[in-house]
């Protein structure tokens, strides 16, 4: 048996060119399959960990995914706001450890502006326990200070002390600008791969200040200056959402209930982790399709191998007859072909893994930079190992086909072949 | 001398519906003999060899090789028996192209424990080198791929392989047909020397009557095969 295996290796070495091509076909398809799997896994992982450490997100009553989309991903708009009084009530709940208000609605050159408190930078966690970090500067202190995400800084080329003007509304092109009150960049955040990168953070008072005189919803006839605005009462009247941290995890449901049954106005509390999972399932259909396609690519690779081995059978009839004449039994000759399929598949899988990790190593920084997708060079998770093992088994099973044909051929050919 | 091969009342046809192409009442070959089997092409020489080699079984009659009645053995047992006791040399294409000369020669010992055990004094490689040098193949050539050898050299490698592990019987089916006429006698003499050395019986099939005089006995297939009308196929 071992000898037949060695013989197979020598025989393959003799057909280097087709052997390399066959192995490469399998390697590429395997690389694609486990690559897709890896991206799927890491994308889901990074997506569902966009926000962590926050137990609940509270907003005006709407759908949970809608609330998640605008509060975390800054996609779409809130249909309603919640009142500042409600915020204070929630904050005073004994089970609540911390509450960070979020106020959305303005933008700067397509990037959303988030009004919040400086505590946001402590409580916003992602990928489990990673906190936001500053590459330059520090959290906002003054009313017209702004902290920008890494992507904002990079795309717009902003540095500390640069001035920015906020536009009213969320559109990329806005005709009504809060140009009477420019902001100063006081902090730039490190890249996180989350929507924070695309956000401009200012204080809640700043949001109030720039909207003095805008109560009707339209641009005021006479814009007031920053100095004048500062003299006004800048306590917020409404906010968009609240991030909550609780003292104990197990009180999540009771806090959720008390928020959902809040008598003063209709509110909704969601668990961000759960909502993120739900959202992922919506977008997950495409990646499922991708996985199925790469599964078929692997199948194609194995079929290619089958074709190569089967078509080599005829030109190897002589070799098989010779082996038979020196004493090889028909089943041993079948072994020769089954182990050939096995070797091709095994090498293909190993090359495929090598190729994937080689690509990961090269593309890792670029993928994080371009897509905010961090692909750690971790060992494959058990799913991928099972997939690889089943590919190997499929290779073996496919090898049985030429093995059986060779078995039959050697029996009819005998020791000499009649050409 | 005892009999190595005994055939009695053999009848064989490829298809049961056809008349037999081999019909031999009796044939015995003694141990250590060098037998020349002559016959025109299509006279059933190769078929006879396949019966003696246990590749095919006759429809009736019995064949014993080394006191073993072949028809009592199953397919797998006949395979094993053949691997243990018989070496083959064919007309052309005897060698595995992707193996070196020496690996080709040692090949039978990986399929037969008995032939491996028959080489007691030395390693497989040493024995292969001895056989090859007896057949005038020495030096670097034995580690080269067989594809770099001339036809004459290839046939001597094939002979060395057939002799490897001292099988009792060597069946040579037209081994000289691909050689130049003046090389044929050389090849046969080298083969003889080695067969004597190992006490191996040689069955040599050829249509080339010029070689006949070199052998102990000649069996003319036309004389012993009673399947009278032999068609050319």
C-alpha to C-alpha distance for A36 and A178, rounded to whole angstroms: 45
Tokens representing residue B221 in the block: 């297939």
Do A182 and A62 lie in one domain? The reply is yes
Whether residue B90 lies within 8 A of chain A, CB to CB, comes out as yes
pLDDT digits (tens, 9 = 90+) for A336-395: 999 999 999 999 999 999 999 999 999 988 888 777 777 887 777 777 888 899 999 999
Do A152 and A214 lie in one domain? The reply is yes
Query: What are the phi and psi torsion angles at A218 (to 5°)?
Result: -110, 165
Do A35 and A110 lie in one domain? The reply is no
Outline where DSSP puts E strands in A143-295: 145-148, 163-164, 167-168, 183-189, 199-203, 238-239, 241-246, 267-270
With contacts defined as CB-CB under 8 Å, which chain A residues touch B76? 329
Q: How confident is the model at residue A266 (pLDDT cuts 50, 70, 90)?
A: very high
**DSSP for chain B, written as a single string:** --EEEEEEEEEE-SSTTSPPSEEEEEEEEETT-EEEEE--TTSSHHHHHHHHTTSS--SEEEEEETTEEGGGS-HHHHHHHHHHHEEEE-SS--S-TTSBHHHHHHTHHHH-HHHHHT--SS-HHHHHHHHHHHTT--GGGGGSBGGGS-HHHHHHHHHHHHHTT--SEEEEESTTTTS-HHHHHHHHHHHHHHHHHHT-EEEEEES-GGGGGGSSEEEEHHHH-----PPP-
CA B217 to each of CA A26, B1, B67: distance values in angstroms, whole numbers, following the listed order = 59, 15, 21
Q: Domain boundary residue among A270, A305, A326?
A: A270
* Lowest-confidence pick of A340-354, B70-84, B210-224: B210-224
Smallest Cβ–Cβ distance between A414 and the set B50, B83, B107 belongs to B50
Whether residue A6 lies within 8 A of chain B, CB to CB, comes out as no
Total domains, chain A: 2
Closest Cα of chain A to B217: distance in Å? 26
- Say which residues have a Cβ less than 8 Å from residue A98's Cβ, sequence separation at least 6: A119, A123, A244, A245
In a domain, A278, yes or no: no
Do A16 and A124 lie in one domain? The reply is no
- Say which residues have a Cβ less than 8 Å from residue A220's Cβ, sequence separation at least 6: A213, A214
Name the nearest CA neighbour of A27 among A400, A391, A418, A308: A391
Angle at A245 between CA A128 and CA A123, to 5 degrees: 55
Whether residue B173 lies within 8 A of chain A, CB to CB, comes out as yes
> Are B93 and A322 within 8 A, CB to CB?
yes
Query: What are the phi and psi torsion angles at A388 (to 5°)?
Result: -65, -40
The DSSP bridge pattern shows strands A96-108 and A111-116 to be: antiparallel
Do A88 and A215 lie in one domain? The reply is yes
Do A225 and A79 lie in one domain? The reply is yes
Whether residue A332 lies within 8 A of chain B, CB to CB, comes out as yes
In a domain, A276, yes or no: no
Do A198 and A230 lie in one domain? The reply is yes
The pLDDT value given to residue A353: 93
In a domain, A299, yes or no: yes
The pLDDT value given to residue A21: 93
In a domain, A279, yes or no: no
Half-sphere exposure of residue A88: CA atoms within 13 angstroms, side-chain side:
7
Q: How confident is the model at residue A211 (pLDDT cuts 50, 70, 90)?
A: confident
Task: Tell me which range, A197-211, A277-291, A346-360, is most confidently predicted by mean pLDDT.
Answer: A346-360
Q: Which residue from A minimizes the CA distance to B100?
A: A10
Note the Cα B179 to chain centre separation in Å.
17
Q: If you average pLDDT over every residue of chain A, what do you get?
A: 87
Do A142 and A164 lie in one domain? The reply is yes
Query: What are the phi and psi torsion angles at B206 (to 5°)?
Result: -160, 155
> Are A416 and B173 within 8 A, CB to CB?
yes
Note the Cα A306 to chain centre separation in Å.
36
pLDDT digits (tens, 9 = 90+) for A33-73: 888 888 888 888 888 888 888 999 999 998 888 999 989 98
Domain that holds residue A43: 2-47+284-415
Q: How confident is the model at residue A186 (pLDDT cuts 50, 70, 90)?
A: very high
Q: Domain boundary residue among A225, A242, A270?
A: A270
In a domain, A277, yes or no: no
Do A111 and A181 lie in one domain? The reply is yes
- Best mutation site among B49, B53, B74, B83 for testing chain A: the one with the most A CBs within 10 Å? B83
In a domain, A109, yes or no: yes
Number of residues in chain A:
419
Does the pTM exceed 0.80? no
Tokens representing residue A145 in the block: 């200070």
Q: Domain boundary residue among A246, A270, A294?
A: A270
With contacts defined as CB-CB under 8 Å, which chain A residues touch B94? 322
C-alpha to C-alpha distance for A267 and A245, rounded to whole angstroms: 17
With contacts defined as CB-CB under 8 Å, which chain A residues touch B161? 326
In a domain, A302, yes or no: yes
Query: What are the phi and psi torsion angles at A360 (to 5°)?
Result: -60, -45
In a domain, A194, yes or no: yes
Tokens representing residue B7 in the block: 């055939």
Q: Which residue from B minimizes the CA distance to A325?
A: B88
Whether residue B174 lies within 8 A of chain A, CB to CB, comes out as no
Whether residue A408 lies within 8 A of chain B, CB to CB, comes out as no
Do A217 and A293 lie in one domain? The reply is no
Radius of gyration of chain B (CA): 18
The pLDDT value given to residue A190: 93
With contacts defined as CB-CB under 8 Å, which chain A residues touch B79? 327, 329-330
Whether residue A373 lies within 8 A of chain B, CB to CB, comes out as no
Tokens representing residue A346 in the block: 């095994």
Q: How confident is the model at residue B232 (pLDDT cuts 50, 70, 90)?
A: very low
The DSSP bridge pattern shows strands A267-270 and B3-12 to be: unpaired
Do A214 and A337 lie in one domain? The reply is no
What is the arithmetic mean of pLDDT over A261-277?
91
Smallest Cβ–Cβ distance between B76 and the set A319, A328, A329 belongs to A329
CB contacts < 8 A (A, B):
53
In the block, residue with structure tokens 């109030």? A208
Whether residue B42 lies within 8 A of chain A, CB to CB, comes out as no
- Best mutation site among B15, B41, B56, B79 for testing chain A: the one with the most A CBs within 10 Å? B79
Do A248 and A308 lie in one domain? The reply is no
Closest Cα of chain A to B212: distance in Å? 24
C-alpha to C-alpha distance for B173 and B88, rounded to whole angstroms: 8
Q: Are A101 and A242 in contact (CB under 8 A)?
A: yes
């Amino acid at each position: 048996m071992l000898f037949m295996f060695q013989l197979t290796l020598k025989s393959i070495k003799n057909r280097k060119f087709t052997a390399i091509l066959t192995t490469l076909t399998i390697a590429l398809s395997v690389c694609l399959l486990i690559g897709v799997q890896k991206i799927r896994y890491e994308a889901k992982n990074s997506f569902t960990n966009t926000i962590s450490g926050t137990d609940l997100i509270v907003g005006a009553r709407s759908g949970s995914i809608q609330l998640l989309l605008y509060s975390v991903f800054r996609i779409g708009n809130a249909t309603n706001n919640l009142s500042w009084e409600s915020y204070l009530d929630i904050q005073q709940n004994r089970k609540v450890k911390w509450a960070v208000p979020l106020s959305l609605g303005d933008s700067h050159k397509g990037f959303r502006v988030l009004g919040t408190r400086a505590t946001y930078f402590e409580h916003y966690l992602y990928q489990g326990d990673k906190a936001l970090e500053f590459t330059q500067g520090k959290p906002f202190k003054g009313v017209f200070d702004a902290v920008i995400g890494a992507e904002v800084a990079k795309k717009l080329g902003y540095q500390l002390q640069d001035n920015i003007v906020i536009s009213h509304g969320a559109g990329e092109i806005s005709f009504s600008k809060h140009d009477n009150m420019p902001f100063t960049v006081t902090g730039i955040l490190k890249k996180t791969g989350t929507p924070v990168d695309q956000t401009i953070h200012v204080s809640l008072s700043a949001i109030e200040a720039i909207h003095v005189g805008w109560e009707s919803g339209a641009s005021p006839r006479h814009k007031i200056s920053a100095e004048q605005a500062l003299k006004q009462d800048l306590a917020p009247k409404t906010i968009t959402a609240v991030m909550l941290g609780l003292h104990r995890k197990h009180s999540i449901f009771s806090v959720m209930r008390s928020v959902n049954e809040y008598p003063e106005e209709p509110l909704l509390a969601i668990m961000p982790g759960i909502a993120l999972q739900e959202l992922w399932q919506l977008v997950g259909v495409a990646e499922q399709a991708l996985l199925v396609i790469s599964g078929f690519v692997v199948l194609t690779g194995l079929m290619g191998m089958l074709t190569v081995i089967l078509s080599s059978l005829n030109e190897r009839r002589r070799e098989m007859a010779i082996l038979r004449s020196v004493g090889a039994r028909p089943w041993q000759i079948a072994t020769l072909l089954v182990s050939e399929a096995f070797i091709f598949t095994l090498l293909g899988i190993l090359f495929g893994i090598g190729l994937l990790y080689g690509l990961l190593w090269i593309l890792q920084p670029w993928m994080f930079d371009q897509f905010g997708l961090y692909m750690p060079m971790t060992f494959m998770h058990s799913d991928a190992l099972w997939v690889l093992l089943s590919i190997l088994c499929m290779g073996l099973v496919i090898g049985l086909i030429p093995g059986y044909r060779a078995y039959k051929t050697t029996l009819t050919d005998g020791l000499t072949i009649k050409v | 001398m005892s009999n190595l091969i005994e055939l009695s009342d053999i009848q064989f046809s490829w298809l049961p519906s056809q008349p037999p192409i081999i019909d031999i009442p009796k044939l015995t070959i003694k141990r250590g003999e060098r037998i020349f089997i002559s016959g025109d092409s299509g006279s059933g020489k190769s078929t006879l060899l396949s019966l003696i080699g246990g590749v095919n079984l006759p429809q009736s009659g019995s064949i014993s090789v080394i006191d073993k009645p072949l028809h009592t053995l199953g397919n797998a047992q006949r395979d094993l028996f053949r691997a243990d006791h018989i070496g083959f040399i064919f007309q052309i294409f005897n060698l595995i192209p992707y193996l070196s000369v020496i690996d080709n020669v040692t090949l039978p010992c990986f399929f037969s424990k008995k032939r491996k055990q028959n080489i007691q004094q030395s390693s497989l490689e040493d024995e292969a080198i001895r056989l090859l040098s007896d057949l005038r193949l020495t030096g670097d050539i034995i580690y080269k791929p067989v594809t770099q050898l001339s036809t004459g050299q290839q046939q001597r490698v094939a002979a060395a392989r057939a002799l490897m592990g001292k099988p009792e019987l060597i069946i040579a089916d037209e081994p000289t047909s691909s050689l130049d006429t003046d090389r044929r006698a050389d090849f046969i003499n080298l083969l003889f020397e080695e067969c004597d050395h190992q006490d191996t019986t040689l069955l040599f099939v050829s249509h080339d009557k010029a070689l006949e005089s070199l052998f102990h006995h000649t069996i003319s297939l036309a004389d012993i095969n009673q399947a009278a009308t032999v068609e050319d196929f």
